[in-house]
Amino acid sequence: MRAIAMDDEPMALEVVRSLSVKVPYLELVACFTDAFTALEYLQNESVDLLFLDIKMPDISGLEFVTSLQKKPLVIFTTAYSEHAVTSFELDAIDYLLKPFSLVRFVKACNKAQELLQLRSNSPASVKDYLFLKTGYEQVKVYYSEILYLEAAGNYVTFVLENKKLLTRMTISEVCELLPPGKFIRVHRSYIVAKDRIDKIERHQVCIKGNPVPVGASYMQQLQIM
């Protein structure tokens, strides 16, 4: 999903840029502090999504959207809440109030991705993989390869059939990226692939001979899976 961001504050653009690199299916191709430069870019380039501030000196984000003939999906990013109703009247995907977290950012991006998939109306557009940032690399991981995930602070280890991958994310952030029908959280530090569970015991599940602890508050959800 190709995206651009527009905001008159460079620091705000840096926030969007830093969050974007953590969303595997999102490619932030350009950032703008000037509305007219952004407009020229949109006239010549194909873009799926626009992150857009509302209050800017020359033209407001709301005015900018209404001026576009070919509109990408729009997520407004602003420090002010009073324009929320108007933004949704312009069919905005979401309205992010600054400062926003990665989890909130990912939720908005998920909405945009789901709508793009619906518009394409093609089963092939639904991805069965994600890209994980490990060190300086982006590694493609198919959901079917994942056995379980183990979190430790701001890092999560993806345990696959033949290897382990460590990525800098929290478990809450990972939850937003995984398809919920395929995975289930069984502990504050563990997520497992449902179809890889071999055995459910009192305080743990077994996956390929690996015991994974189950928290008391997650057991009921696991039993009705």
Q: What is the pTM of this model?
A: 0.55
Task: State residue 170's pLDDT score.
Answer: 86
Residues 121 and 144 occupy one common structural domain = no
For residue range 43-57, list pLDDT tens digits in order.
888 899 999 998 888
> Is 90 in contact with 109 (CB distance < 8 Å)?
no
Distances (CA, A) of 71 to 36, 65, 67, 68, 129: 15, 7, 9, 6, 28
Q: The domain that contains 60 carries what CATH number?
A: 3.40.50.2300
State how far Cα 5 lies from the chain centre: 16
Residues 97 and 143 occupy one common structural domain = no
Per-residue pLDDT band at 13 (split at 50, 70, 90): very high
For the chain, percent of residues with pLDDT exceeding 70: 91
Task: State residue 213's pLDDT score.
Answer: 95
Residue with tokens 């991705």: 113
Structure tokens at 206: 């077994």
Task: State residue 118's pLDDT score.
Answer: 67
Alpha-helical (H) ranges within 121-211 are 171-177
Which of 166, 150, 221, 160 shows the shortest CA–CA distance to 196?
160
Residues 32 and 55 occupy one common structural domain = yes
Residues 33 and 95 occupy one common structural domain = yes
Q: What domain range is 16 assigned to? A: 2-125
Structure tokens at 105: 């950012």
Which of 30, 24, 81 shows the shortest CA–CA distance to 51?
30
Residues 6+ apart with CB under 8 A from 123: none
Task: State residue 127's pLDDT score.
Answer: 72
